[in-house]
């Protein structure tokens, strides 16, 4: 059995049999309180009982500012991606995984292929631009994020 807890950009995963997981349930409020009070989650909360596997996964580096956008219930995934890419976070070219992680942070845990197809459609419609970085991975940016337009006199 596996139990995942996601708080902000941190994720804690517990794995074990039913009796081990049920014993962890008692300390979850302590873990949540400790995580909320810390500005950056650096280590798991002390656990007095032994668990078979505990893992903390950082989704984004602490120094990286995540996008802050307003989402309405009528927004499609393409609309949300465009809002992300038009935010200050999106001014820098972003890889598919970066965009996928930002969507997860906003509460949209989409598959890689769903995000990739949406990005491809936005590129084909001319709303985003796509290019390969030095590692050969596709990067996406808004059409004006890296282009300086000279002023004409």
Q: What is the pLDDT of residue 5?
A: 74
SS3 category, 129 = strand
d(CA 9, CA 151): 41
Give the tokens for residue 62.
């602490």
Domain residue extents for the chain = 2-58, 77-142
Give the tokens for residue 57.
């996964």
Range 77-142 has CATH code 1.10.10.10: yes
CB-CB contact of 37 with 9 (8 Å): no
Q: What is the pLDDT of residue 26?
A: 74
Q: What is the pLDDT of residue 48?
A: 46
d(CA 106, CA 69): 9
CA distances to 1, 42, 63, 87 from 58, rounded to whole Å, are: 22, 9, 12, 22
- pLDDT averaged over consecutive 10-residue blocks of the chain (153 residues)? 70 73 74 60 47 44 65 91 92 93 91 96 95 92 62 53
Q: What is the pLDDT of residue 138?
A: 92
């Amino acid at each position: 059995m596996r139990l995942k807890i996601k708080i902000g950009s941190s994720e804690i995963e517990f794995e074990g049999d039913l009796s081990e997981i049920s014993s962890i349930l008692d300390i979850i409020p302590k873990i949540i309180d400790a995580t909320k009070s810390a500005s950056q989650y650096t280590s798991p909360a002390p656990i007095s009982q032994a668990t078979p596997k505990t893992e903390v996964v950082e989704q984004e580096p602490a120094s990286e500012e995540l996008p802050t956008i307003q989402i309405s219930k009528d927004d499609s995934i393409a609309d949300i991606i465009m809002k992300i890419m038009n935010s200050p976070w999106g001014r820098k070219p972003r890889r598919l995984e970066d965009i996928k992680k930002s969507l997860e942070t906003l509460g949209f845990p989409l598959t890689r292929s769903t995000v990739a197809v949406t990005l491809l459609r936005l590129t084909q419609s001319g709303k985003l631009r796509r290019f390969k970085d030095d590692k050969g991975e596709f990067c996406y940016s808004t059409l004006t994020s890296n282009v300086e337009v000279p002023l004409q006199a």
